[in-house]
Structure 1
């Protein structure tokens, strides 16, 4: 298989997975600091269909979560894929926060604000 790279794109609040330099998937998040410790709310992970079944989503999730933990940030798993990944990888448990109504409201407001700018 061609070279696979995962890079953090903080300006767009996401991690991109690239194959031969072409972005073929992402793990999107919103930065959150609701008065406690700073966190990343992961809300969407996707890999282009033609690259499915190659384990790329797992590589993307691992890189995104490792970076989040290394940055001292909490993980808030709203995305179904990230939730599933965390269930299979208990090493992230100490850095994972339960999703609260405040997280969901913040995410809804942030995504609505972004959509209104588009």
Structure 2
């Protein structure tokens, strides 16, 4: 690992972790305006296999969640990794929104539209 950085790629709806400028992992989300409050539905996290076991997914999740909380946006954890991460980091509990059927319907519609 040379130069590991994290960036928020707003255009692609994801936070990326990079090694020397090359994307080696991401946590992907969809923006959702539920009940009048902005929320981010985090639905997928992945780290390239060759970078596994180095704590990079945790570093990426921390950056994504910290930036989301700082922006005043609620965290909706659909992604299994983010769910597990949140269970070990209670400091985010006040900013976490319980996953509701409306979140899942919105996500399903948004992702289906993307593949058409």
The answer for the alignment partner of 2:47 in structure 1 is: 47
User: How far did residue 2 of structure 1 move?
Assistant: 1.0
TM-score by length of 1: 0.96
Provide the secondary structure at the position in 2 that maps to 1:16. Answer: strand
The answer for the alignment partner of 2:38 in structure 1 is: 38
Tell me, yes or no, if structure 1 residue 66 matches structure 2 residue 66.
Answer: yes
Provide the secondary structure at the position in 1 that maps to 2:86. Answer: helix
Structure 1 unaligned regions, length at least 5? none
Q: Distance in 2 between matches of 1:17 and 1:59?
A: 9
Q: Which runs of 4+ in 1 moved over 2 A?
A: none
TM-score by length of 2: 0.98
Structure 2 unaligned regions, length at least 5? none
The answer for the alignment partner of 2:22 in structure 1 is: 22
Count the aligned residue pairs. Answer: 116
